[in-house]
Homo-oligomer: A and B are copies of this chain.
Amino acid sequence: MHRRKEIVGGTSPGPVVGVFDSGFGGLTVLKALLRRMPGARFVFLGDTARLPYGSKSRRTIARYAAESARFLVNEQGAEFLVIACNTASALALDAIQDAVPIPVLGVIEPGAAAAASASKTRDVLVIATEATVASHAYAAACRARGLRVVEKACPLLVPLVEEGWIEHPVTAEVARIYLSEVLEEAEAARQSPDTLVLGCTHYPLLRGLLEREILELTAPAGARVIDSAEATAEAAARLVAQVANYGAGLGTEPSAPGTPSIRCFATDSVEKFERLGSRFLGLPVGKVELVDLGG
């Protein structure tokens, strides 16, 4: 187990938690982490020069993600790493764990665990990017928990969120089309899903809209919407509390309200990150620092 070297004792600042995403969608995970670990110091890296991972191959994603993880650990001193990117979690968690000597947590297992807790029918739907769906990582994690699952790639939802069309008739129509298709597929497989997993960090911004559309399509039963970001933040807080005596220190030195300890890095266009990032974090992201990973 990795141990902290420099900082010990009750008066030390909180743990350094690295949070990695291909873009800034992972800021929805960071937002959830902030609520649960106010005393931690967060270092966020968005590999924006090489995004989106969602349409790329496993080999390429693994290489990019491992480089990014090494930056957070070797250059920023991260002691825990949260892979706040469904695609990287689905396709590259092993590669990242091999690349760095600290505990690494992805979003797939916590999301599947939350779905297993929520579902009464034991049938769930997962919506995600093309690459996440093609990996069937959610399907495997859900099946391991006795769930049946239908997965659906929804490649238009990310660009719609980035265009800022959050409460927009076009987005509602696109969501209706995707959800109708996945519900039809579930019906054809004689499944009765009661739970919808948001398997992409952009989707929590559409949570209200997706909840309305799935309710309309499945009324009166409806479906419980599971946000992997929330589930992951909970699992991360538990993990940090279990490891290296952080339990007692966690939350004892909370950041002052509105001034969490966050440092953000991006591999490209810090302007876009600063502009869009605040929408995902629900707070101003502040100054974003440019880093060159050589891609």
Contacts and interface: CB of A to CB of B under 8 A. Distances in A.
B170 A163 contact: no
Count copies of this chain in the complex: 2
A269 B49 contact: no
A173 B170 CA distance: 7
A155 interface: yes
Contacts of A145: none
Contacts of A268: 56-57, 60
A272 B170 CA distance: 26
A289 to B, nearest CB: 14
B55 A49 contact: no
A283 interface: no
A162 B155 contact: yes
Given A57-B268, A173-B173, A269-B56, A50 B295 contact: yes
A156 interface: yes
A149 B198 CA distance: 42
Interface string A13-53: 00000000000000000000000000000000000111100
Nearest to A270: B57
Contact of A163 (B155, B163, B267, B295): B155
A209 interface: no
22 contacts: A48-B56, A49-B50, A49-B56, A49-B57, A49-B60, A51-B55, A55-B272, A56-B268, A57-B269, A60-B267, A60-B268, A155-B162, A156-B156, A156-B159, A156-B160, A156-B165, A158-B159, A169-B173, A170-B170, A170-B173, A170-B174, A170-B177
Given A57-B268, A156-B160, A158-B159, 6 more contacts: A49-B50, A49-B60, A55-B162, A57-B269, A156-B163, A170-B170
